[in-house]
Structure 1
Amino acid sequence: MEIFKYMADYDYEQLVFCHDESSGLKAIIAIHDTTLGPALGGTRMWTYETEAAAVEDALRLARGMTYKNAAAGLNLGGGKAVIIGDPRSDKSEELFRAFGRYVQSLNGRYITAEDVGTTVEDMDLIYQETNYVTGISPAYGSSGNPSPVTAFGVYRGMKAAAKEAFGTDSLQGKVVAVQGVGNVAYKLCEHLHKEGAKLIVTDIRKDAVDKVVQEFNATAVDPDDIYSVPCDIYAPCALGGTINDQTIPLLKAKVIAGSANNQLKEAKHGQIIHDLGIVYAPDYVINAGGVINVADELHGYNEERALKKVEAIYQNIEKVFEISKRDDIPTSEAADRMAEERIEKIRNSRNQFLQNGFHILSRR
């Protein structure tokens, strides 16, 4: 790939290559935009087929974090890191501490966190070398497991989407089809059950399904059947790309609201479901509870304060719907526009301040 052309096309600020021979570290840190504040985004460890694929992944994910953090109302920009290696066999204390030194060298421009292939224990090792890391062990003052908070945010966003579709945000009696019942979805099902929603669930792991069936009186279906079940709300909480050419014609739901990332297979699918009158709560807006929670650690973690911020996902989803109507665009595009408008306002305000400061200095 033409790296500088790619960076110019999407307005990236910085790309850092990290190498430490003694530990075997090969990592890439991508910083997309720091208009709102330092870039926050997790560190992914993965066995990439090529180094170019690792660079592209870091860049793509960093840009996504810019939008996610901006839409969540955080004073943080977007960044991401990838470590090239097998998380099952290549981890070591020296590797993560070497990576931590690279994070420290950026002097706070980038703040890391847990991601695919990394754990709380890995973050603890990074913490030995830098304070610019979140998601560390609760013993160090961290927020701990983010799954319950992410689920709470999805629950709040789902209620806002229900209000848009049905005229009320009550989920009592609503049929919710939940695809995937991992850590986040399990807690989401708990919220929905308490409110009186009827659950239809699926997962490739039978034990996970059985647990939700027993505890929350859910109905289980085969994975391929979850798209076509009669329901009010479809909640994708597993893999991305489940809203696609094959599944959209099967959907009976009036609302799509779930915790999975990259729910739309392609951008065009946002327009298709919009034209069908399906209310879609964009994934990176509704599932932002986790990043909102870890961001609170930067101020000395306070659970009550963090949960209050996560509650506001309800209002964030409402704002997406407002922009969608205002500009006659699908909600998937409206979410991007909401993030871009916030970044632009802060950028203009900052530029105005700098210009005024220059004029004052020039008159002296």
Structure 2
Amino acid sequence: MELASSTSRRDETTAFDHPEFDGHEKIVFGHDAQTGLYTVIAIHDTRLGPAMGGCRMWPYANMQEALTDALRLSRGMTYKNAMAGLDYGGGKAVIIGDPKLHKTPELMHAFGQKVDALGGLYITGEDVGLTPADMESIGGATEHVRGTSKTHRGDPSPYTALGVYNGIQAALRHKFGSDDLHGRTVSLQGLGNVGFTLARFLHHAGADLVVSDINEKAVQKAIDAFSAKSVNPEDAHKVEADVFAPCALGAGLNAVTIPELGAPIVAGAANNQLAEPGDGAALAERGILYAPDYVINAGGVIALALHDVEDEVLETTVRNIGETLTIIFRRAEAESAPTDVIADRMAEERLSSRDV
């Protein structure tokens, strides 16, 4: 795979001028000619500890798209780890390439070498496009990785789903006074590892599901397993439901979709759900309760961070995501501010407490 000018000084200049640059402490452009690796590792903030965040492999059209994702996602990890009460900072890595075509154990090993060269400043893990097997390949080159056989708990997605499920319950309690899911309808957009596990939790709790995904096989599986109804993914947000749970790609809440929302609660696993900074306020103006994405979807990184604790302790910590959201919801009402603004304030308060 060829990618022109991927590690040039022009990229470094562009990174500092990039609209998503937010005082990032370190941005690394990595290339390995033998394996075809092109990667960006963005370290946003290490005041709470070494940066932790997964590695995503995606067929970005160019380095600028990859850089945008790395910068934005790494900042999100800073806030996610802070709100989860973890002693880790925020970082993220992206690899340019189609995981179905370009991914090899050798490429993963080469990426692990790039991580190892940072000396523990960044700890990586599994994200979109990578698997537990890939983590093993990365782990052959660095100890700064989580989700391997050495560090236990390979796939973090069940814990992400558990946290989102508890977040949905917290949102229901705040909005309706009860977290009972019997008779409640959830429109679930995205049936990947997290989305499908979340669907199972919701079904077992008595919810009626409307599901959507570009993968028709996943949709049919959910219909068969959960007696779900289906809808086109682009219409999932319009469904008249109690909860809209976006669990696919980000930026789905925007100037076009927010006026069309058919649910009074938005609570899902997708990262970077708000397309623009003002979209949280637009949700609040419509009376829609929004569970900030980096708070509700923190179960996976909690599992990676607390890889050496007992299962019961880990599950209790993940379930506490619901309590954190309740605090955010109440504070948002008290301060007459959107929930995403309150979450940012709370994260910044914790980060500021570590300033020297």
Normalised by the length of structure 2, the TM-score is: 0.88
CA–CA distance in structure 2, aligned partners of residues 80 and 39 of structure 1: 8
Paired residue for 1:160, among 170, 185, 189? 170
Q: Deviations over 1:184-217 (max 9, x none)?
A: 2222122222222222222333332232223222
Aligned length: 344
Paired residue for 2:284, among 267, 274, 278? 274
Paired residue for 1:76, among 67, 88, 92? 88
CA–CA distance in structure 1, aligned partners of residues 216 and 60 of structure 2: 30
Cα distance change of structure 1 residues 98 and 275 upon mapping to structure 2, 3 Å threshold: same
Q: Would you say the 8 A contact 1:171–1:197 is kept in 2?
A: yes
CA–CA distance in structure 1, aligned partners of residues 253 and 145 of structure 2: 34
1:130 counterpart residue number: 142
CA–CA distance in structure 2, aligned partners of residues 253 and 270 of structure 1: 15
Paired residue for 2:348, among 315, 340, 349? 340
> Given the alignment of the two structures, is residue 106 of structure 1 paired with residue 114 of structure 2, yes or no?
no
Structure 1, unaligned runs of 5 or more = 352-364
Deviation at 1:229, TM superposition (A): 2.9
CA–CA distance in structure 1, aligned partners of residues 137 and 36 of structure 2: 16
Q: Would you say the 8 A contact 2:52–2:88 is kept in 1?
A: yes
Structure in which a larger fraction of residues adopt helix: 1
Cα distance change of structure 1 residues 101 and 168 upon mapping to structure 2, 3 Å threshold: same
Q: Would you say the 8 A contact 1:240–1:260 is kept in 2?
A: yes
Q: What is the Cα-based RMSD across aligned positions, in Å?
A: 2.3
> Given the alignment of the two structures, is residue 257 of structure 1 paired with residue 267 of structure 2, yes or no?
yes
CA–CA distance in structure 2, aligned partners of residues 26 and 223 of structure 1: 31
Cα distance change of structure 1 residues 203 and 47 upon mapping to structure 2, 3 Å threshold: closer
Identical positions, percent: 49
Deviates more, 1:74-83 or 1:114-123: 114-123
Paired residue for 2:227, among 186, 194, 217? 217
Q: Deviations over 1:43-78 (max 9, x none)?
A: 223343333443333222211111111111111100
Q: Which SS does the other structure have where 2:187 is aligned?
A: strand
Amino acid at match of 1:209: V
1:358 counterpart residue number: none
Structure 2, unaligned runs of 5 or more = 1-12
1:295 counterpart residue number: 305
Cα distance change of structure 1 residues 147 and 9 upon mapping to structure 2, 3 Å threshold: closer
Q: Which SS does the other structure have where 1:140 is aligned?
A: coil
1:35 counterpart residue number: 47
CA–CA distance in structure 1, aligned partners of residues 20 and 175 of structure 2: 40
Q: Which SS does the other structure have where 2:249 is aligned?
A: coil
CA–CA distance in structure 1, aligned partners of residues 91 and 273 of structure 2: 21
Deviation at 1:301, TM superposition (A): 5.1
CA–CA distance in structure 2, aligned partners of residues 126 and 176 of structure 1: 37
Q: Would you say the 8 A contact 1:7–1:13 is kept in 2?
A: no
Cα distance change of structure 1 residues 222 and 74 upon mapping to structure 2, 3 Å threshold: same
Q: Would you say the 8 A contact 2:245–2:266 is kept in 1?
A: yes
Normalised by the length of structure 1, the TM-score is: 0.87
1:247 counterpart residue number: 257
